[in-house]
Amino acid sequence: MNELEEWLKECMNVFPSLKGMKIECKYKKLPKNTLGRIKGKVFMKRDIDVETLLIEGKAKVKIKREKPREYEIEINEKLKGIKKEVIRKQIVQHTIIHELLHIENDDLISLTKDYKRRKKKKLHVKEFKNEVFKRYNEVRKLNGLPPIERKEGLDMAIGKIVRELEI
Ligand SMILES: [Zn+2]
């Protein structure tokens, strides 16, 4: 198991709703200011109304969007520049938890629906960020680390790392 798989597995412990889902995690070259992102396969299913076709002769086809069942979390490869593993693990796990919460919230399927909605939907609202912080501290606890007391401190630390590594 590589480090990302191992760290993802630990994070999955605080996401019981995602149990059994196929999620992979990889280091990738990502756009500026992006620590991580998710990719999911959204399947489109064409569904035909049999009666309309056979009685009226007209094809009525509906496109149904299915919830993705497989996801890939991409972690900015520049994070590998954090030499101390214990520190790298914390930043990567915080990023993983952020992405897992998007999966739990079904943000991806809403994102791909249409561009107008995509622009309107705010993903990183305060409650979202607080939930990431809460779950992150739960994972720390499982790893025998003390909780981080204030979210602001963590935000500052991540900001500093992002600047230092020129992410
Ligand atoms: Zn996000």
Distance from Cα 74 to the centre of ligand 1, integer Å: 12
For 153, phi then psi, to 5°, come to -65, -45
Distance from Cα 102 to the centre of ligand 1, integer Å: 7
Report pLDDT for 82.
Answer: 96
pTM > 0.95: no
- Cβ burial of 90 (10 Å; 0-12, 13-18, 19+) is buried
Q: What is the CATH number of the domain that holds 119?
A: 3.30.2010.10
Distance from Cα 138 to the centre of ligand 1, integer Å: 19
Distance from Cα 164 to the centre of ligand 1, integer Å: 21
Distance from Cα 98 to the centre of ligand 1, integer Å: 6
Distance from Cα 124 to the centre of ligand 1, integer Å: 6
Cβ neighbors of 115 (< 8 A, separation 6 or more) are: none
Report pLDDT for 109.
Answer: 65
Distance from Cα 128 to the centre of ligand 1, integer Å: 9
Report pLDDT for 160.
Answer: 96
Report pLDDT for 66.
Answer: 72
Report pLDDT for 36.
Answer: 95
Q: How far apart are CA 27 and CA 11, in angstroms?
A: 17
Report pLDDT for 67.
Answer: 72
Q: How many domains does the structure of the chain reveal?
A: 1
Report pLDDT for 84.
Answer: 96
Q: Which domain holds residue 149?
A: 3-164
Q: Strand runs (DSSP E) across the chain, as ranges?
A: 22-28, 36-40, 43-48, 61-66, 70-76
Below-70 pLDDT ranges, the chain: 109-121
Distance from Cα 72 to the centre of ligand 1, integer Å: 14
